[in-house]
Chains A and B, each alone.
Chain A
Amino acid sequence: MANEEERQLLVVIFDVNPVWWGIKSLQGQAQITKCLDCLLVFVNSYLMLRHDNKLAIIASHSTKSVFLYPAQESSHSPDPSKASISDQAGGDCRYEHFAKVDDSVTDKFKELMRDGCEKNDIRRDSLIAGSMAIALCYIHRMQIESQGNTKLNARILVIKAADDAASQYMSFMNVIFAAQKERVVVDACILGQDSGLLQQACDMTSGMYLKVPHQDAFLQYLLTAFLTEAELRKESLVLAQSSRPREVDYRAACFCHRSLVDVGFVCSVCLSIFCQFSPICSTCETAFKPPVLASKSRKKRRALPANGT
């Protein structure tokens, strides 16, 4: 079992890209409300494992990332003290902690869907790098607050729907390196297409990458694979094997043709990658000396004495 001195913090990042979810619900393949219900059941099970498990849920929209739980005090909500009294007076038989989480998530989610974003800002691809950056800041804050008492094991679970955004590569890599440094495990549960960025993230932080084939099994996958904390996964035969099922392609693409290279030329000033030698670097405009062909002159010198003697 986990050490008494350690606590868990789980941050769930839920991708609510409106384009992807809209298309899927029109096709009848996936419903965001059903997924949200599955997520709430999963989160309640996680909270039930230990009384001091900590949780945060972030929704990643096209233009903003919103904390669904813990609820921030916003200008829309009424006086918080009055709200909590009315909750307690509501008196349904739910465990209070679960009720708080469920209500906060559903209220914030409704608010997010209602507010939405401008028509020009809607994107087809999901911008999870920003949500992951915010998650890391929250984890950092929690680590500072619990310092000295107990160690905090933090992990991020990304539930991704839409495709990768190519423009986010740099920010995403910075986030992955920061997660590596802070010893945060990144797990990924993919509802849509395979994501190369998240494969790299899970590989580099030793997390689990899982692609869910169809939505009906979503809750079962969540409960089986992602409920256990990272350190205990190696105790389970199934989870240990499926942690790294496929090889991640870490090759680089050259800047000129965007094709994957095995052997490339790297500019020593700006570290841009080219597939063949060029006299000027296109990124930083440094001039290079062409490679000196030393071998030919040596061969000629060696051949002469043999002929001469």
Chain B
Amino acid sequence: MEEQGEDKAYRWEGDYEKTWEALKEDETGSLQASIEAEINKAKKRRLQQRQRNVRLGMMRHLYVVVDLSQAMCDQDLKPNRAVAVLKALEIFSEKFFDQNPISQLGFVSTCAKRAEVLSDMSGSLQKHIKVLQDLGQKIIKTNAKHCTGEPSLQNSLELCAKSLKHMPSHTSKEILIVMGSLTTCDPGSIHDTITQIAKQSIRCSVIGLSAEVHICKYLAKSTKGTFGIILDESHFADLLTDHVPPPAEISPESSLIKMGFPHHVSPHESGKISLCMSRNTFTVGGYFCPQCQAKYSELPVQCVICALTLVSAPHLARSYHHFFPLPMFKEQEVPVGSSTCYSCCKPITTATYVCEQCAISFCMDCNAFIHETLHSCPGCIISTNHVHTTTNGVV
């Protein structure tokens, strides 16, 4: 259920909500169009809620705590909760690294009153996906035999906090807890842990799979995170996707981070063999750290020898669109006579969306595509008076 305010009544105390009246059939009897309209409305609402002109935490260190306790053997998500959660987290990791290329992700699991690290904090997508897939396979094979006991919220929070304490202060530290159980078994007072975490300005969010637990809501509220309970699998994917864009920055620390931009040497250019630090084997060609000349096979990575963050310019450019979010297009009625979409030449039937800067109209699909994937209006790019407001820093 959505988070309720303190002053709102419980749902059974309010009036009846006739939700069946929101769906309408079209002439063939199909509900598809009205379902799509609902989905689009929800998407639009989500996009509009994003604030503009707010400082964003670009470099993020996010720990995802996965509950692998007895409650996750429940089969209300197919095939069981644990496997469904791991699959959803794989998709989440891909989207996370797509939108935040210079951030790092780590996974922690909690079961049998303990917490342990599944996958260390790193920026390598393949490593995390492999760990998640192997764990998912193991759970399917053993039929969730080792998902036993109760989760421990305090142990997992302390484990993450201990690791996040060493992170530099200009990064945004976050913990995302996926909790399926209604209980937690803790060694000490969890309120002390929560105050300690809030003091370290770590942002905790909780996604619950069964019901609202007061301590989780209190944790999310004290650390300025979000709290949500899922309705079904697609709602779970939506709640996870809400954590993909960078959050508004709560800590005022900012600094100049020293970064290296290594040059790539291809195997054709030089046939010399050298040790690749990311794979621990000898390879030909790769990226050489400008400070210590250690070789790596892929970017972004943190040099293990001189601790310099190595990135390439497109990784930074991938985050630029967060600073200049494309404003929503105005929805208008289809003008008299047919009109075609500017970018895909499809005749527009439902509604046109007009960009306010260049006054060019698009169809609904192009509008969704432009805002979710492209992040630039084609009309604005083409019109000659459009000069981009950023200073271009790269060749």
A interface residues, Cβ below 8 angstroms from B = 62-65, 67, 70, 72-73, 121, 123, 127, 129-131, 133-134, 136-138, 140-141, 144, 166-171, 173-178, 181-182, 196, 200, 204, 244, 247-255, 260-274, 277-278, 281, 283, 286, 288-289
Contact = CB atoms under 8 A, between A and B. Distances in A.
Contact of B378 (A70, A137, A196, A272): A137
Interface string B156-190: 00000000000000110000000000000000000
28 contacts: A121-B384, A127-B382, A131-B382, A134-B343, A136-B374, A137-B341, A137-B366, A137-B378, A140-B365, A140-B366, A140-B373, A141-B346, A170-B317, A171-B388, A174-B374, A247-B263, A251-B263, A253-B393, A264-B259, A264-B261, A265-B256, A266-B316, A267-B256, A268-B58, A268-B171, A268-B255, A269-B58, A288-B256
A50 to B, nearest CB: 23
Contact of B254 (A62, A138, A261, A269): A269
A262 B260 CA distance: 6
B257 A166 contact: no
Given A129-B381, A178-B373, A251-B261, 8 more contacts: A136-B369, A166-B392, A170-B317, A254-B393, A261-B261, A263-B308, A271-B316, A289-B255
Complex A-B, nearest 3 residue pairs according to Cβ-Cβ distance, in ascending order: A130-B382, A137-B343, A133-B378
Nearest to A250: B312
B381 A130 contact: yes
B376 interface: yes
Is chain A's binding surface mostly helix, strand, loop or mixed? Answer: mixed
B259 A196 contact: no
B366 A127 contact: no
Interface of B: 55, 58-59, 98, 170-171, 249, 254-266, 269, 290-291, 308, 312-314, 316-321, 323, 340-346, 362, 365-366, 369-370, 373-376, 378, 381-384, 387-388, 390-395
B374 A138 contact: no
Contacts of A65: 378, 382
A68 to B, nearest CB: 12
B248 to A, nearest CB: 12
A137 B318 contact: no
B59 A127 contact: no
B381 A133 contact: yes
Interface hub of B264, B345, B387 (most chain A Cβ within 10 A): B345
A89 to B, nearest CB: 27
B376 A268 contact: no
Nearest to A261: B261
B201 to A, nearest CB: 14
Contacts of B261: 250-252, 261-264
A263 B260 CA distance: 4
Contacts of B170: 268
Contact of B340 (A72, A173, A249, A272): A72
Nearest to B375: A174
A204 B299 CA distance: 13
A264 to B, nearest CB: 6
B256 A253 contact: no
A241 to B, nearest CB: 9
Contacts of A261: 261
Nearest to B253: A268
A136 to B, nearest CB: 6
Contacts of B341: 137
B250 to A, nearest CB: 13
A38 to B, nearest CB: 25
Contact of B392 (A140, A167, A174, A270): A167
A247 B381 contact: no
A175 B321 CA distance: 11
A295 B1 CA distance: 53
B373 to A, nearest CB: 5
Contacts of B370: 137
A182 to B, nearest CB: 7
B324 to A, nearest CB: 8
A260 B395 contact: yes
Contacts of B342: 134
A133 B343 contact: yes
A264 B378 CA distance: 32
Nearest to A287: B254
A271 B311 CA distance: 12
Contacts of A171: 376, 381, 388
A225 B382 CA distance: 29
B387 A167 contact: yes
B259 A265 contact: yes
A273 B316 contact: yes
Contacts of A169: 388, 392, 394
B388 A272 contact: no
A235 to B, nearest CB: 20
A287 to B, nearest CB: 8
B388 A167 contact: yes
B394 A249 contact: no
B289 to A, nearest CB: 9
A170 to B, nearest CB: 5
B258 A265 contact: yes
A200 B317 CA distance: 13
A29 B333 CA distance: 50
A274 B365 CA distance: 40
Contacts of B262: 262
Contacts of A200: 314
A166 to B, nearest CB: 6
Contacts of A121: 384
A154 to B, nearest CB: 13
Nearest to A246: B266
B57 to A, nearest CB: 9
A167 B384 CA distance: 11
Given A250-B314, A268-B255, A262 B393 contact: no
Contact of B382 (A64, A137, A173): A64
B71 to A, nearest CB: 35
A168 B381 contact: yes
A272 B257 CA distance: 10
Which of A65, A261, A266, A278 has its CB near the most chain B CB atoms (within 10 A)?
A: A266
Contacts of B291: 263
A299 B120 CA distance: 33
A204 B315 CA distance: 12
Given A141-B366, A204-B314, A262 B263 contact: yes
